[in-house]
Amino acid sequence: MTNFIKMLNNEDGATAIEYGLIAALIAVAAITALTNIGGNLNKTFSNVASNLNK
């Protein structure tokens, strides 16, 4: 019975899951930010290229 109570009170697995969720959230935020920045850079370089050709 004491082993079962120790297992219920063990929070190591919960901490690992929390760190995993935080890492996933940071990854999603980074991907979103880089996608937006990439789109803006593409527009900027296209604008520069079209003005150089004039």
Question: What is the residue type of 8?
Answer: L
Residues 4-43 have pLDDT tens digits of 777 667 767 777 888 889 999 999 999 999 998 988 898 8
pLDDT of residue 5: 78
DSSP labels for the chain? -HHHHHHHH--HHHHHHHHHHHHHHHHHHHHHHHHHHHHHHHHHHHHHHHHHT-
pLDDT of residue 27: 97
